[in-house]
Structure 1
Amino acid sequence: MYIIAAILGFSLLIIVHELGHFIMAKVNGIKVEEFSIGMGPEVFSHKGKETQYSLRLFPIGGYVKMLGEEEAIEDERSFSSKSPLRRISVILAGATMNILFALVIFTVFFFNRGFSTQTVSKVVENSPAFEAGLQAGDTILKIDGSKVFTPSDVSIGIQLSKGDNVNLLVDRNGEKKELSITPKLVEDNGSQIYQIGFYYSAVEKPTIGESIKATFNETISLVGQTYKSLKLLVTGKLNFKTDVGGPVTIIKISGQAAKNGIYTLAYFLAFISINLAVFNLLPFPALDGGWTVILLIELITRRKVPDKIVGAVNYVGFMILIGFMIVVTLKDIIFPVKL
């Protein structure tokens, strides 16, 4: 039951993403030939006025097929006939919709459940934070030079330190103070994590304005964390076996979130929606970011990039992505992430 809810939730994110492409294609007068949710064999289809709507067997993707998307077609309603800026607007609409979806979910979540702030409510006696001079009422502004938007920015910074000193910049009654703290490795629910020993203040019944502000802070934080994680993965600083999860892990965590209630599942889906948007905007062939780079080249040079080059580059990029997806999925099965 919970796994089904997780799969449906993940499918919703794909629908939201593809709906963005679909809407902007229509706004720009581009003919959409097919709107598909899922990949693989067709399970259900319906022919609209000009668009084929289809549901496919595997809920791991989706696509919007536009006239003239893969090759130049002399038709005023083809994707290829539109200006680079119009095509860029269509390409970026998917990630934009994912971000908007997350903003709405986060706002509803925070308004109903409240949120933690970067202000310290209590310092554990004799803890590293206590010894370094952290006090209740301090607001954490930066950790190791990076701006703090949410408590998770601090928590992640502490874990990434691997026990080395972390430098906190805090606001204490309007005065900025720098503190150097050495995290301590402790047992927590069967796992070893680094802690410095303090608790955050919470806003239990926020106004809609406070909820919106928390939403933007959360979104900025997650975007930064996603890029940081990708950088750590590329540079080999993440343990691929234990720190990286693919579709199987996402579904498992979504199912666990569903067990904890609709709000927890909604928050996790918003989190994944931000990750999906950031990943799609990477300047890599076959991704939305890669398409945007090609169109920016056309916009700057005022010359169309040859279809053969675009096709070859996107094909190579697509095969790399498929290969990576297969490897990550196999890793999920052979070395599952402990929840």
Structure 2
Amino acid sequence: MYIIAAIIAFGVLIIIHELGHFIMAKVNGVKVEEFSIGMGPKLFGIKGKETEYLIKLLPIGGYVKMLGDEGKSDDPRAFNNKSSLRKLSVVIAGPIMNLVLGVVLFSIIASARGYVAPIVKSTIPDQPAAVAGIKPGDRITRVNNSKISTWEDFITQVYTVGGKPINISYERQGTLRQATVIPMKNKAENRYMVGIEGTQVTSPNLGQSISYGFIETKSLIKQTFSFFKILFSGKASMNDVGGPVTIIKISGAAAKAGILSLLAFSAYISVQLAIFNIIPFPALDGGYIFLFLFEIITGKKVDDNKVGMINYVGFAILMALMVVVTVKDILYPIKF
């Protein structure tokens, strides 16, 4: 039951993403031939006036097939005959929809159960923060050179530096102060801590909830790029990376924990999906975004057949990577 809920939630994220492409294709007068949720063998479909709506077996993706998006067509409604700016608007709409969904979901969650603000509620005696003079009521603004907008930002920064000294900037009664703190490792929880508890905002108003939705989404984007930096620097391993199986498992656990937990994880994955798709790699939205920006800036059009060939290779690499990550998920699952 919970796994079904997780699959449905993951499917909704894909639908929202593809809906962005679909809507902007229609706005720009592009003929859409297929709108598919899922990949692989077709389960069933409905034929509309000009678009076939499909549900496929594997809930690991989806696509919008437009006339002229994989080669040349003489039809004026073909994707390849639209201006680079119009094509860019169609491609970038998918990731934007996922970011918007993230903002909406985080806002709903904040309104329903509140959130933790980066304001010190209490400090643990004799722990690094208390020793450094940080007190309840202090608002944390920066850790080293990184701006702190959410409590998650603060936790991430402490985790990232490990046991190295960090410079915490905070505001007390309108005055900016600084303290140098060396995190201590909590062996029981196997993580570094400075001994600070954040302040729970229990009943935010509508404006605060929406503001939190934007701030949390922005924070998550920053945290994701920080993780990429850690991953490519060798400080994290591919064992920390999960694929579809891991996503469904965690989604199922989130669904079991309650609707708000499922919404929170869905918001997280929605933002991750947006970021992944803007990576400038062939067959991803980011590859097309890079291409169309190049055409807009240089005024030179890249041959459609060459683009199609490169995207086929990129798609094959992505599918191979998907298989590898899925097998890894099954044989060597992430342990929590």
Identify the TM-score tier after normalising by the shorter chain. Answer: over 0.9
Counterpart for residue 300 of structure 2 = 303
Instruction: Report matched runs for 1:254-265 at 5 Å.
Output: 254-265=251-262
With over 3 angstroms needed to count, the CA separation of the structure-2 counterparts of 1:29 and 1:47, relative to structure 1, is: same
- Residue number in structure 2 paired with 1:19: 19
Does 2:184 correspond to 1:193?
Answer: no
Distance 1:187 1:5 in 2: 35
2:209 maps to 211
Q: Distance in 1 between matches of 2:119 and 2:160?
A: 21
**Corresponding residue for 1:110?**
110
Q: Distance in 2 between matches of 1:132 and 1:14?
A: 47
Secondary structure of the structure 1 residue equivalent to 2:190? strand
1:50-89 alignment, distance < 5 Å = 50-89=50-89
Cα separation, 1, equivalents of 2:219 and 2:101:
16
SS at match of 1:73: coil
Aligned length: 336
State how far apart, in whole Å, the 2-side matches of 1:206 and 1:239 are: 38
Q: Which structure 2 residues correspond to residues 268-307 of structure 1 after superposition, within 5 A?
A: 268-307=265-304
Residues 106-130 of structure 1 show CA distances to partners (whole Å, capped at 9, x for unaligned) of 1111111111111101001111111
Instruction: Give the 3-state SS of the residue equivalent to 1:267 in structure 2.
Output: helix
1:305, distance to aligned residue in structure 2 (A): 0.3
Could you report, residue by residue, the CA deviation over 1:289-331 in whole angstroms, capped at 9, with x for unpaired residues? 1101111121122221012321232223222222222222222
Q: Which runs of 5+ in 2 are unaligned?
A: none
1:144-223 aligned within 5 A: 144-188=144-188, 191-223=189-221
CA distance in 2, matches of 1:161, 1:181: 11
* Counterpart secondary structure, 1:164: coil
1:124-139 mapped onto 2 (5 Å cutoff)? 124-139=124-139
Amino acid at match of 1:87: K
Give me the TM-score of the superposition, normalised by structure 1. 0.96
The residue type equivalent to 1:80 in the other structure is N
* Partner residue, 1:228: 226
Once the two structures are overlaid, the 10-residue window that deviates more, 88-97 or 223-232, is 223-232
Which residue identity lines up with residue 291 of structure 2 in the other structure? I
2:270 & 2:176 partners in 1: Cα distance?
35
Find the aligned partners of 1:74 and 1:110 in 2 and give their Cα distance: 50
- Compute the displacement of 1:23 (Å): 0.5
Matched, 1:317 2:293: no
User: Are 2:72 and 2:305, in contact at CA under 8 Å, matched by a contact in 1?
Assistant: no
**Could you list the runs of 5+ residues in structure 1 that have no partner in the other structure?**
none
Report the secondary structure of 2:126's partner residue.
coil
TM-score of the superposed pair, with normalisation by structure 2: 0.97
Query: Does the residue aligned with 2:38 lie in a helix, a strand or coil?
Result: strand
Q: Is the 2:31–2:67 contact (alpha carbons within 8 Å) kept by the matching residues of 1?
A: yes
The root-mean-square deviation of aligned C-alpha atoms, in Å, is 1.2
Distance 2:18 2:202 in 1: 35
Task: Tell me what 2:5 maps to.
Answer: 5
Cα distance in 2 for partners of 1:231, 1:121 equals 31
- Per-residue deviation, 1:231: 2.3
Residues 239-282 of structure 1: per-residue CA shift (max 9 Å, x gap): 222x2211111111111110111111011101100010011111
Q: Distance in 2 between matches of 1:325 and 1:42?
A: 19
- CA–CA separation in structure 1 for the residues paired with 2:168 and 2:317: 40
Identity %: 49
CA distance in 1 between counterparts of 2:98 and 2:201 reads 26
